[in-house]
Structure 1
Amino acid sequence: MIQLDGISKVYKIRSGYMKYHDLYALDNISTTFRNNNISGITGASGSGKTTLANIITGYDTDYAGQILYNSSLVRTLGSVRYVFQDPYTSMNPVKTVEWHLATAASINNVEMSDAIKKLEIAGMDYSIYKDRYGHSLSGGELQKLALAISIIPEPEFIVLDEAFSMMDSITLFKTLNFLKQLKKTISIIYIDHDINRIAFASDYVYILNHGKIIEENYTDKIMNDPLNDFTKELIKYSPDYHRRI
């Protein structure tokens, strides 16, 4: 379980000669992400989703407030893994899929056979992909590889920040259903700007706006009986593919 207590992130923005004002990327966020759940975070662009992900995963340590990991201030090394939106920043284009798996297995003291199993259950056939170089993979394939690598050490939590943005609809559907099985052993924080994707995959939803969680509830409650006006707008203006303009 991950508990946030009064998390704030402030940037000093220059507004004139020797003048600055505070810009709150996150403003006093207190909430809990439960074990064996898919916790979905959504909101407008610039609402603080990635900033929150960076803080939860330890990539950003300059913030106010505290985070408890299973009631402890100390995060166990490797207990939370991060999958970025852009897989090109984390994958080596001149190395093979086999190299990426072997490297991840070695770093995490995992048998290569177990790493291969993770790739397979994430939807990539090792025999087909093992000799493929990073530069020859599509964005969606790289995102699947990044997901597979993140679960090799079997962390307690994975944080997925727009991690499926390059996938086609079929691959996305299979991947989101895979997450529903994965949550039995690895808890998931899934961030996406598309509330339809969040609603499909998540057990519990958090709505971010202007650095604040303005509403959180079980998915059915959020989608069928939203309380906040911004949440209502997110749902209202999400694309309805059954109705053509």
Structure 2
Amino acid sequence: MAELVIEQLTKSFDGIEVLKELSLHIQEDEFVAVLGPSGSGKSTLFHLIGGLYEPDEGTIALGGDKINGQKGSVSYMPQSPSLLPWRSILDNVLLGAELAGRKDKEAALEMMDKAGLSGYERAYPHQLSGGMKQRTAFIRSLLSPQPLILLDEPFSALDEFTRSEMQKWLLDIWQSNKRSILFVTHNIEEALFLADRILVLSEKPAQVVAEFQVEFTRPRAEDITLTEEFLQYKKDIYKVLKKGTGV
């Protein structure tokens, strides 16, 4: 079970409330995107789910089990690929599974082939492009045994073309290897193209102020971004974000 349930989560630092009574849920194999103003507490939310921080109040449950302050329950992919420079690409891909004692070299090689990384098994991170490094990091997340993957703006450092290609690649790989995903982004179009649902956070102390169910069928076609329905979603979400920041 990979259902994530967060109830009444509150967290402060030095007397400043970052999250206040925040509640959300992610169903098994659901792809949920989180949008919010800069500094609204999205990274704090991820650190709480990952067990790096403990909440002041509230509960975080994964598959029915409380995981407050518990490390290792989720797979986390930050903005930078965070590949180990002294390990080959294959060894980087296998790292999460290796730490969990579930190393599967054949599965790793098969997924690398699908990701266009065949032939780079013995290469090192400095020999890869930005997009290839991100693919490596995502495959590492998929091969880790945790049922929930946290993606923290993984494509923000990429150029527009590479970012678009990575979005399509991510959806293709996820369709074949379903996992629950919580995806943080500042990009409304990216959230709409990727997610089943979009949660919008307020400025801090952050709460979920709006939720959008994205009705586009899967697999997603690239030209949905040009449809009236897509543009209307984008306008509606923008209005909520603008209202939340007081702009």
| 1:100 alignment counterpart | 92
In 2, Cα distance between equivalents of 1:232 and 1:45: 12
Of residues 201, 208, 231 in structure 2, which corresponds to 1:208? 201
Shift of 1:227: 8.3
In 1, Cα distance between equivalents of 2:22 and 2:54: 15
The 5 A counterparts of 1:106-121 are 106-108=98-100, 109-121=102-114
Q: Which deviations, in whole Å up to 9, do the C-alpha atoms of 1:176-222 show, x marking residues without a partner?
A: 4225515x631111111101100111111100122121111312599
Change (3 A) 1:124 1:44: same
Shift of 1:232: 5.8
Count of aligned pairs between the two proteins? 221
| 1:230 alignment counterpart | 240
Q: Tell me whether 152-161 or 188-197 shows the greater mean CA deviation.
A: 152-161
Shift of 1:69: 1.2
Of residues 56, 63, 66 in structure 1, which corresponds to 2:49? 56
Change (3 A) 1:200 1:126: same
Shift of 1:102: 4.3
In 2, Cα distance between equivalents of 1:208 and 1:156: 24
Shift of 1:110: 2.4
Question: Do residues 72 (structure 1) and 74 (structure 2) align?
Answer: no
In 1, Cα distance between equivalents of 2:89 and 2:20: 40
Question: Do residues 145 (structure 1) and 145 (structure 2) align?
Answer: no
Instruction: Decide whether the 8 Å contact of 2:77 with 2:151 is kept in 1.
Output: yes
In 1, Cα distance between equivalents of 2:208 and 2:105: 41
| 1:157 alignment counterpart | 148
| 2:32 alignment counterpart | 39
Provide the aligned C-alpha RMSD in A.
2.8
Q: Normalising by structure 1, what TM-score? A: 0.78
Task: Supply the AA of the counterpart residue of 1:116.
Answer: L
Gaps of 5+ in 1: 13-21, 238-245
Of residues 2, 5, 30 in structure 1, which corresponds to 2:4? 2
Q: Tell me whether 216-225 or 173-182 shows the greater mean CA deviation.
A: 216-225
Shift of 1:83: 0.5
Of residues 188, 210, 213 in structure 2, which corresponds to 1:195? 188
In 1, Cα distance between equivalents of 2:38 and 2:147: 28
Instruction: Decide whether the 8 Å contact of 1:206 with 1:215 is kept in 2.
Output: yes
Instruction: Decide whether the 8 Å contact of 1:179 with 1:201 is kept in 2.
Output: no
Gaps of 5+ in 2: 216-228
Shift of 1:144: 1.2
Instruction: Decide whether the 8 Å contact of 1:118 with 1:152 is kept in 2.
Output: no
Shift of 1:53: 1.1
Of residues 24, 49, 64 in structure 1, which corresponds to 2:17? 24
Shift of 1:4: 0.7
Change (3 A) 1:188 1:227: closer
Change (3 A) 1:153 1:92: closer
In 1, Cα distance between equivalents of 2:173 and 2:10: 29
Instruction: Decide whether the 8 Å contact of 1:82 with 1:160 is kept in 2.
Output: yes
Identity between Structure 1 and Structure 2 (%)? 24
The structure with the larger Rg is 1
SS state of the match for residue 46, structure 1? coil
Task: Supply the AA of the counterpart residue of 1:143.
Answer: Q
